[in-house]
């Protein structure tokens, strides 16, 4: 199913109704208004597989699993699932600092495009409800791997919620604050030089059969390399 030159192993699943791919970091989901001639995921997939319909999105620098519909009927069904929170997404996040909790649920309302930098901000008056469940998977001293499960689908939800609890994503220049900086987390010394976020898995009902299906996206090389580097440097003596 490798039909796109330069982007091998994209497709995780393909049938007449559903296309699931492992999006590379650095490739926007939709056309970039500032760089309309640059490659983008929907355009590449459309050339390779025919018309597709967007169901949800990932940030340009986020890697991992993303699903598309291949018919109007499938698009309608999948949209309903995402709107009604029937689809479940799991992210793996490399964050700055070592959380002092093992599990945490963040319930903070979010408002997109809420400041001069066009960030999603915490807003208790005008924000929309947003809940993210967090669980520490591994610790590496100045960094940690956290599982993040968004129960709502707000723009930049995971990035904003992690920053709000003092553990922004590695290499997140938009949401990191100077007060969040830990030893080893300055630009150029981070374990990964792009946003430390990977959409690890997606569970949904197949739009035609209604069968529950789960898809898992392997880590890309830069992400797995960062984990190996961190594990090697923090082996117990």
The catalytic residue positions are: 59
Read off the tokens for 28: 């926007």
Residue 65 has φ and ψ, to the nearest 5°, of -75, 135
Q: Which of 118, 95, 73, 117 is nearest to 182 (CA)?
A: 95
**How many other CB atoms sit within 10 Å of the CB of residue 232?**
9
Contact assessment for residue 201 and residue 213, using Cβ atoms and an 8 Å cutoff: no
Contact assessment for residue 196 and residue 169, using Cβ atoms and an 8 Å cutoff: yes
Residue length of the chain: 237
The secondary structure of 208-222 as a DSSP string is TT--EEEEEPPPPHH
Between the alpha carbon of residue 43 and those of residues 39, 48, 78, 213, 226, the distances in Å are 7, 9, 20, 26, 30
Burial of 91 (0-12, 13-18, 19+ CB in 10 A): buried
Collect all residues with Cβ–Cβ distance below 8 Å to 92 and sequence separation of at least 6: 137, 145, 146, 147, 148, 197, 198, 200, 219
């Amino acid at each position: 199913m490798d039909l796109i030159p330069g982007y091998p192993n994209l497709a995780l699943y393909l049938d007449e109704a559903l296309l699931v791919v492992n999006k590379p970091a650095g490739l926007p989901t939709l056309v970039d208004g500032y760089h309309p001639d640059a490659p983008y995921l929907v355009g590449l997939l459309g050339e390779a597989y025919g018309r597709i319909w967007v169901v949800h999105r990932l940030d340009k620098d986020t890697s991992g699993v993303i699903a598309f519909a291949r018919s109007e009927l499938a698009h309608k069904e999948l949209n309903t699932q995402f709107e009604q929170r029937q689809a479940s997404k799991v992210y793996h996040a490399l964050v700055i600092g070592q959380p002092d909790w093992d599990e945490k649920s963040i319930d903070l309302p979010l408002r997109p495009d809420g400041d001069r930098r066009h960030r999603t901000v915490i807003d208790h008056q005008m924000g929309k409800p947003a809940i993210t469940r967090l669980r520490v998977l591994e610790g590496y001293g100045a960094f940690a791997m956290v599982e993040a499960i968004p129960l709502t689908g707000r723009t930049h939800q995971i990035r904003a919620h992690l920053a709000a609890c003092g553990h922004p994503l590695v290499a997140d220049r938009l949401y990191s604050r100077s007060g969040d900086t830990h030893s080893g987390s300055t630009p150029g010394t981070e374990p990964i030089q792009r946003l430390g976020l990977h959409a690890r898995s997606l569970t949904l009902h197949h739009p035609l059969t209604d069968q529950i299906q789960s898809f898992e996206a392997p880590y890309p090389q830069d992400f797995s390399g960062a984990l190996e580097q961190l594990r090697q440097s923090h082996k117990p003596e």
